[in-house]
Amino acid sequence: MVVHRDQRRADVRDVLDEFERWLLQERSAQECTAAAYTARVAAFVEWLPAPVEESLRKLTAAMLIEWVDLEAARGLKASTLGKQLVMLRSFLQYAHRSGRMGQDLSGVVPHAAAWRLSSIPDPVPAGTIEALFDTLDLRSPKGLRDRAILLLLTGLGLRACEIAGLRLDDIGWRTGSLRIRGKGDRVDELPLPDEVGHALEDYVLHGRGGRVQGEEVFWTVIDPVQPLSANGVCGTIRQICIKAGVEKFGPHRLRHTFATGMLATGATLQEVQGLLRHAHLRTTALYAKVDKNRLTALAREWPAAASLGRCPR
């Protein structure tokens, strides 16, 4: 059966769009999470022979293992491959529950071997961050918007989806606080540093413009004007990197930079855990690996350390 290239693209897009809606509606995923899952699954869906619907109905365990082997052969880091496989399992669950597949093959997908928290965050050098700010034209709405976004990333360590989800009533102008809607419908209030607050004020008063009617804080600057998505925040940072002439990176690397900077200035792991809104201290402990001095201090801060020091003779 011959399938026109444009038709194939449309078929792939239809499946991916439906998968993303399923994540949002059935799994209550954050917008940025749903977009990330869909983007990573796209390579698998595009790999399937056309027509995609028929391939999903005829999908076998052997075909799945073949694709996993191809991904592993690309030399991906274990952590990256692991994320690919987690998202593939989620897609296969969706395909079964939506009736596209007769059986759930998610259990066939193997796990990538990796040590938990084995990677080390790579902070952005201070000179690079300065270069990003130096590219901004603060006479333009875009420059005011991008400065506020950069300061939320470098001064508070927010996630891209948290920035995209900010609404005007989340900003406590009088109390100097910022309400954050994070993962798992979690809501936190963080202290709002003066510099970040002033940047938000400048953008809201002088950058959003009269065409903006909604309550979302950040908006696109090119027609059609609409709320800035988590993907839009990521794209904004990469565009600033290109303009500054530095290696491209995403918002999450600035979150790493914020966390490691806090530890370097003497903050405890528990304090950084609170600011990053991590559910578990062991997640925050990843950042201590950047600094050997902080890693040594971790032995004293870790809850199990005391009991380990009292082993029976």
Same domain, 71 and 155: no
More confident residue, 12 or 310: 12
Question: Cα dihedral angle (273, 86, 119, 309), rounded to 10 degrees?
Answer: 60
Query: Residue 99 contacts by C-beta under 8 Å, 6 or more apart in sequence?
Result: none
The count of other CB atoms within 10 Å of the CB of residue 161 is 24
Same domain, 109 and 152: no
Same domain, 147 and 237: yes
Q: What is the pLDDT of residue 310?
A: 39
Q: Residues with catalytic annotation?
A: 159, 183, 252, 255, 278, 287
The tokens describing 74, both together, are 């690309």
pLDDT of 45 above 60: yes
The count of other CB atoms within 10 Å of the CB of residue 132 is 21
Same domain, 135 and 236: yes
Q: What is the pLDDT of residue 77?
A: 73
Give the residue numbers spanning the domain of 229.
126-244
Contact (CB, 8 A) for 11 and 53: yes
Q: From the centroid of its chain, how far is CA 241?
A: 18
More confident residue, 11 or 280: 11
The count of other CB atoms within 10 Å of the CB of residue 8 is 16
Does the N-terminal peptide bond of residue 121 adopt cis geometry, omega within 30 degrees of 0? no
Among 226, 244, 262, identify where a domain stops.
244
pLDDT of 285 above 80: no
The reported pTM is 0.58
Query: Does residue 41 lie in a domain region?
Result: yes
Contact (CB, 8 A) for 290 and 121: yes
Domain count of the chain?
Answer: 2
Instruction: Please return the burial class of 293, using the count of CB atoms within 10 Å of its CB with bins 0-12, 13-18 and 19+.
Output: exposed
What's 162's domain CATH number?
1.10.443.10
Instruction: Please return the burial class of 81, using the count of CB atoms within 10 Å of its CB with bins 0-12, 13-18 and 19+.
Output: buried
Q: What is the pLDDT of residue 203?
A: 95
More confident residue, 247 or 309: 247
Give residue-wise pLDDT tens across range 76-104: 777 788 888 889 999 999 999 999 998 89
Name which of 144-158, 204-218, 245-259, 294-308 the model is least confident about.
Answer: 294-308
Query: Does residue 149 lie in a domain region?
Result: yes
Whole-number Cα distances in Å, 82 to 7, 31, 95, 108: 31, 21, 20, 14
Q: Which residue has the tokens 């799945």?
A: 64
Query: Residue 262 contacts by C-beta under 8 Å, 6 or more apart in sequence?
Result: 157, 271, 272, 275
Name which of 32-36, 129-133, 225-229 the model is least confident about.
Answer: 32-36
User: What mean pLDDT is predicted for residues 126-134?
Assistant: 92
pLDDT of 33 above 80: yes
Contact (CB, 8 A) for 108 and 64: yes
Give residue-wise pLDDT tens across range 219-248: 998 888 899 998 899 999 999 999 999 988
The count of other CB atoms within 10 Å of the CB of residue 33 is 18
